[in-house]
Each structure stands twice: as C-alpha cells, then as structure tokens.
Structure 1
C-alpha cells in the first residue's frame, strides 16, 4: 500500500505540475498588456499580436480620434501597459497629456507615424504640418506592420516567431487590399479623380492612387476647426470648376457642413458617407480596417464614376 501510495502521490504531483504549466501558458497573453489609442490601429495590433497579448483599444467605435478622451482609470491602464501604440503626428489631441504622462512614467511607446514616410498638409490652416491620416494608404500600413512586428517581438513574454507569422499573414492581406484598390481606382477617369470631404483626410490616398484633393469643408487638419463663409465660397468655386460629381462625408462627423456646402455650390452634387476616421460597431459596415478600406474604395469608385 505504501508503494502504491508513493506512486499515486508521484502521479498526482506530476499531473499538478503539468496543470500548473498549462495554466501559465494559458495566462501568458493576459500577462502582456498592450494599450492602443485609436480603433483603426487597435484592429491592426490585434491582428499582429494574436493570442500573444491582451490588447485594449481606448477609442470607441464611431468616435473622433481628434477629440475623444479617456477616464482616469484608462489613463492608469495606459501608464502601466507593457507597450502603448499610438498614431502620433498630432492625431490624438485629447490624449496627449496621458501619452506624455506615460512616457514620463517609463512606459514603452510606439507611434505608428514614426514608421512611415510622412506627408505634410499642403493647404489650409495646417499647411506644412504632418498629416496623421496615413491609414488611407495600405502601402504605408505595411510599413507600420513591419515596425510593429519588431516592437511586439521585443516585449517580454511574447513569442517572436508567432508575431512574425501573424505579421506576414496580415501583410499579405494588406498587399491584396492595395492591389484591389489600385484596380478599382484605375477604372475612374483621370478627370474625375477629385476628392472633397469634411476635412483633409485623403492626402495619403491621393498620393498613393493619383487623386487630386480639390479641398475640404474644414480647411485645417483637424475636425476641431471650423470653416468660415469665405472658406465655403472658395471651396464651392473650386468644386464647380473641377466638376466634382460627389463629395464625401465622414461617418464619425455629422454631414451638416457637407450638406451646406452642397447647397452653396448650387449644382447637383451627391453626398456619400465614408468610414475614414473610425471603425464602426460590428454589422455597421466597417468593423475592421480591411472592411473599412474596401467599403470606402467601392463608394469612392461609384461616386466618382459618371
């Protein structure tokens, strides 16, 4: 009996040890905390991180990245994260103090805007300032994934091989998106490749796919600015001269200003909603970055094709 007891005890100890190892593996991702500011980047980080980390996205669906704010509890989460991923380039205007506080606390920060070839705004109040809306170009998002892969692989507790495999898979998806967007936009006649939206958000898309940005209802680089009557008149003249058949309103912003501009132009201009600043809730048309870009591509192509 004593021998049997010893064998039974050894077996239980072995099973317990294996159980403990299993628990450690299951909770490994929970131990690594990644906090992301905007929901577009949040989706990208989730695709690359996979099960290797717990990813918290601060910006809610359908929010405005220029103006959303967070609670004190979320600010503490940000400061205590293993890695904080932000857009950078001045986009998260309502979060800057929290990002500065996290940096001062020694939190590892990665700004996606540091990984891309930055374009400056060329018009409006923000002329010359860096444009933060680089996600409208999928090729630049591949650059972001490349840099993000390196950042995540360096975080303690994360398996670099898994991150590399996830990143490669997502790069394939982004390359296919870029090819599909190229095909769709190539079908638009050159004279019709003119864009107008609420504010300047299409600089990178225009650069990548040879569009002209005729203008924006809000002349600056942020939705927090406001157009004057003179701004509207000037833009109306530009739209009339360019013969733009459609202007685009962002899903995260009311289309009141765009509708007012359509009236100001005095011609038959359609107003089409795009998902440009934020992802949506599931089932609302743009729950992921890839679906957002495909929806926008289809709407732009249809809106600018006579």
Structure 2
C-alpha cells in the first residue's frame, strides 16, 4: 500500500508539473485580437505556437457594418497586440480603434500599402477600396505587416516568426499561380464577375475580369431600382449567364436581377457563393485565407466556362486549421 501511495503521489506530482508547464506556455503566448478572419489567419500562420489569436468577426459577418460589443472591448483592451485592417473597412469601429491605439499596441495592417497599388473608393474621395485580400500578391504585403507587428511585440522570437512568414508567403505564391492559371482559362468574352457588392475590384484588376457590383464598395450603400434595372439590361444585352452571391451579403438583390432577366426571356443562374468580406466556417478549408481565395477562383472559373479542378488546389496545400 505504501508503494502504491508513493506511486500515486509521484504520478500526481508529474501531472501537476505538466499542467504548470502547460499554463506557463499558454501564459507565454502573445494574445492577439484581430478584427477580421483574414487578418487572424495571417497572425496564426506567422505566429504559430507563439500566439493565441481571436477574430472579432466570424463567418458571414459584414465588417463594413460591424460594431464592437462589450466583450470585444474587454478582449481588445486586454490583448498584447490588436491587428485591424484599416482603409475604412471597419468603418463603425475606426474611431474606437484609433483611440485605443493611443495607449495600446494597435496596428492597422493595410494602411501602409503604397497608395499607387490601391483603388479609389467610389463613395469617399479621400479613401480607398479596402478589399485588398482579393489579390494574393497584394495580401502578401499585409502578411509582412502582420509579421513586423508580431516581431515588434515579441522580438525574442524574430527568427521563428520570419521562418513562419516565409513558409506562408510561399503558399500565397502558389495560390496566386493557381488562381492565374484557372482564371486565364475563362473565355475572354465571359470574364464578367457580377456580385452583390464591389468587393472584387482587386480580383478583377489582377486577373483581367470586369467587375460589377449591385451595391458599392461598402455594403452600407443602397442599391436603387435604377441600378438593378441597368444591370438587368447588361445581363440581357451581353448574354451573361451567371452571377454570384456572397456569404456576408444578402442575396435579395441578386435574385431580383435573375427575375428581371427572366422576365425579358434571358436565363441567368447563380454561379456559386463567394467569400467576399468574411471567410468560411472555422476549422474548414474555406475558413483559411488560402481556402477562401482558392474557393473563389475555382468557383468563378468553373461557372464562367473555364477549366478548374472541382476541389481546386486543396490537394496541394495543407493549411494548419485543416490538419
């Protein structure tokens, strides 16, 4: 019995040591709060085991209209590092985030992009289209900003953070190559991407597509009856056969377009559901940046007459969240 007692004591002691080591590891991690899923994904890819990341906006959430909750405020105030997009994407949170930056480690990761690479905002003369993640090459620059923010917060881990970022940037380069390949297979006359709002302008610029949105760059802008009528004319006259819905925007206006075209004897189908302002479900392939853009490129190419594998490039990459 004594031996058993001592054996149990030894086991308990070992368990306590393991638990305390785990607590220490968790406490050593940098707590990062990101506004969007795309930024959170970049922080996880670059930070790896060194970070604990929370995204405020989950799948299907519209960042243009999002307002911080009480729990968000607590998380933001307690974070070691806050990463937000900028470029007026988080329009309803911007004043709060800029105020928070006065006393905390808060970085707008897209604000430093060269203005020569940005597209003007149709609703605001002094602002730019914030949807830069639609071009993987442009998003790579944002990943570098995330890396630098993490290094500034954890300079002792610079080597690991740089190594992680290089690995992720290599994946982004493969993603850009894949997207270029499948989208170039779409016939030139079919390269028209019509969706709920103007989230795909950087995509169109990168891959040679004409982009039409029912609403403007911000989902806060309203789509008038004249705009819908004009787009119906475009669908009919140019014989466009597919339009796209978005996961974070109501499909009401898209369905109005389809009905309007049908009333004039022209059939239009929904080519697929695209990820525009938010990624897919947590834990899914589409819940990563790589999966999000892979999905979009594959769905668009296949719907508009291009040649793309049904599963996209998912067999070539293994994002961490799907391991």
After TM superposition, the score normalised by the length of structure 1 is: 0.85
- Which of 220, 228, 253 is residue 257 of structure 1 equivalent to? 253
For the pair 1:292 / 2:288, whether they are aligned, the reply is no
SS in structure 2 at match of 1:232: helix
The 2-side partners of 1:258 and 1:29 are apart by 48
For the pair 1:111 / 2:108, whether they are aligned, the reply is yes
Contact 1:280 1:286 in 2 (8 A): yes
The 2-side partners of 1:122 and 1:89 are apart by 10
Deviations, residues 156-214 of structure 1 (Å, cap 9, x unaligned): 4650111011101100110000000011011111111111110101110111111111x
TM superposition shift of 1:253: 1.7
SS in structure 2 at match of 1:198: strand
- Range with greater deviation from structure 2 (19-28 or 37-46): 19-28
TM superposition shift of 1:233: 1.3
Note the residue ranges of structure 2 that are not aligned, 5 or more in a row.
Answer: 1-13, 307-323
The 2-side partners of 1:128 and 1:110 are apart by 20
The 2-side partners of 1:269 and 1:126 are apart by 32
The 1-side partners of 2:34 and 2:170 are apart by 23
Matches within 5 A, 1:132-147: 132-147=130-145
Deviations, residues 213-232 of structure 1 (Å, cap 9, x unaligned): 1x2111x2111221111111
How many residues are paired up? Answer: 285
The 2-side partners of 1:69 and 1:132 are apart by 17
TM superposition shift of 1:264: 1.9
Q: CA 1:136–1:43 in structure 2 vs 1: closer, same or farther (change >3 Å)?
A: same
The 1-side partners of 2:48 and 2:213 are apart by 37
Contact 1:262 1:269 in 2 (8 A): yes
Q: Which residue pairs with 2:267 in the alignment? A: 268
Contact 1:84 1:110 in 2 (8 A): yes
Deviations, residues 15-49 of structure 1 (Å, cap 9, x unaligned): 9xx9999568624543x221100112111111111
The 1-side partners of 2:259 and 2:174 are apart by 39
Q: CA 1:139–1:276 in structure 2 vs 1: closer, same or farther (change >3 Å)?
A: same
Q: CA 1:260–1:284 in structure 2 vs 1: closer, same or farther (change >3 Å)?
A: farther
Note the residue ranges of structure 1 that are not aligned, 5 or more in a row.
Answer: 1-14
- Which of 135, 148, 151 is residue 150 of structure 1 equivalent to? 148
Contact 2:134 2:200 in 1 (8 A): yes
Q: CA 1:53–1:285 in structure 2 vs 1: closer, same or farther (change >3 Å)?
A: closer
For the pair 1:120 / 2:119, whether they are aligned, the reply is yes
The 1-side partners of 2:223 and 2:182 are apart by 32
Q: Which residue pairs with 2:319 in the alignment? A: none
TM superposition shift of 1:242: 3.2
Matches within 5 A, 1:57-68: 57-68=55-66
Contact 1:119 1:203 in 2 (8 A): no
Contact 2:147 2:165 in 1 (8 A): yes
The 1-side partners of 2:154 and 2:294 are apart by 35
